A and B are shown apart, each in its own frame.
Chain A
Amino acid sequence: MVKLSKESKLRLQRVFVCGQFVIRWGFIPTVLYLGQVQARSRSRDAGAHDAEFALGMKMLLMSTTHSEEAPSDGR
C-alpha cells in the first residue's frame, strides 16, 4: 500500500465523510428525481405520438372522402 502523510490521510478522511453524507442523503432524492423526469418525458412522447396518430387518421379520412367524390365529378 502507498504510504500517505498525515495531511493526506486527513484530507482523504474528509473526502470519504463528505461522500458518505452525499450518498446517504442524496441517493433517494436522486431516485425520485429520475423517476419524475422519466415519467414527464414519457408523457410528452405519448402526447406527441397521439398528435401524430390523429394527424394520420385525419389524412386517411380526407383521402377516403376525396376518392369517394371523384367518380361523381367525372360523370
Chain B
Amino acid sequence: MGSVLALSTRPGRQNSPFPQERVLSRWERRNGRLRNPGSFDGLHQNCKDVFPQQIEGVRLIINKTLSSFFKVSHTFHLSAVAPSCYRFHAEHLQSDTDSKDKDSPMFIGEMDSSGSLNAHSLLHLSEKLTAKAVFQTQQAQFVTWQFETEYRGRDFTAAVTMANPDIMRESVIMVAHFLQSVSPHLVLGGELVYHRGRAEEGGILTLAGQYSGPNWIATLNAGKGGAHASYYHKANKQIQVGVEFEASTRTQETTFSFGMLDSRCIIGGVLEKRLCPLPATLIMGAFVNHRADKLQVGLGVNVG
C-alpha cells in the first residue's frame, strides 16, 4: 500500500498566526441562518489556547506598533537547551476590524540570527476566497513551502492545500478540508490527505465533528492516522478549562492533557503580570518533566 503520513507531522501543519474568528461567536445566529464554521485547523483552537506555552531560558521581547497595520518586534533569547538567538519579527496585518480595508493582504515574516525564515502571507482574492502561502527555512534550506486556497461559504468552508510540491523529485502532499454547519450547535466535516513520492503513494481520510453547548465545546477528529478529541469549558470570565486527548497510529504515541498537566508527566504553569505603569509584561514559567527528571524554568519581559 505504501507509507502514510500522520496528520500531526504533515509539514507546515501549524496553527495559523492570522487572527481567526473565535468559535464562541458561532453560537449567535444571524438572521436565523447558520454561520460559517471557520477553518478546519481552528477546530481545537479554543482548547489549545488554554494550555500554557512552554517557555525556557531568558527572553526579552520589544514590540513596536508603528501603525494599526504595521508592527515590528525584536526578541532576544538566552537558552540553556538550544542556541541563543535574536529574532526579528515584522507583521503587516489589520488590527482594527472596523477598518474599511478589511481585504488588504496580510504578511507575517520572522527571521532569526541564523538566517532561518518563517513567512506567512494571506491574500483576499474575493470576499469569500482567500489564498495563503507559507515558507519556512532552516538557515538556507527550505523546509516547508505550502500554498492554500480557502472558500468560506455562508455555512460551510472548503480548502485545498498543496504542501512541498517538488517537480524535480516528483513529490507532493495535497490536503482537502471541508466543514459544514449542520445545525447552530453541530459542525461536521472531514480531511483528506494524499501524498505522493517517487516510490510511495498514499491517502488518509479523517472525519471531524464539533458540538457546542451554551458555554462548552467538544471536538472530535477520528481517522486511520489517529484520533484527536478535545473539550473546552468556559466557567466564567476568569476561568477556562481544557482537556485534550491525542493518539497517533504512526508515532504510536498517546497524549492526554488537562490544563497544565500532561500524560508525559509534564506539569507546568505560566504567570503573566502587567507591570503598571510601565508598558511591560513579566512572564514567568516553570515546567517539570517527572519521567525524564527535568526542570525547565523560563523568564521573559515583554516591552510594548
A52, chain B: closest CB distance, angstroms? 17
Q: Which of B's residues lie within 8 Å of A, judged by CB?
A: 66-67, 69-70, 72, 88, 90-92, 107-109, 111, 115, 117, 119, 135, 137, 140, 142, 167-168, 170
Q: Summarize A's interface: helix, strand, loop or mixed.
A: helix
Contact A35 B66 (CB under 8 A): yes
Taken together as a complex, chains A and B put the C-alpha atoms of A6 and B299 apart, in Å, by 54
List the 7 closest pairs (A to B, CB-CB), nearest first: A35-B70, A28-B109, A39-B67, A31-B107, A31-B90, A27-B119, A31-B109
Contact B70 A27 (CB under 8 A): no
Taken together as a complex, chains A and B put the C-alpha atoms of A38 and B100 apart, in Å, by 14
Taken together as a complex, chains A and B put the C-alpha atoms of A60 and B3 apart, in Å, by 77
Q: How large is the interface on A (under 10, 10 to 19, 20 to 34, 35 or more residues)?
A: 10 to 19
Taken together as a complex, chains A and B put the C-alpha atoms of A13 and B69 apart, in Å, by 36
Taken together as a complex, chains A and B put the C-alpha atoms of A20 and B137 apart, in Å, by 9
B136, chain A: closest CB distance, angstroms? 10
Interface residues of A in 15-48 (CB under 8 A from B): 16, 20, 23-24, 27-28, 30-32, 34-36, 38-39, 42
User: Which residues from B are CB-within-8-Å of A35?
Assistant: 66-67, 69-70, 72, 90, 92
Contact A13 B117 (CB under 8 A): no
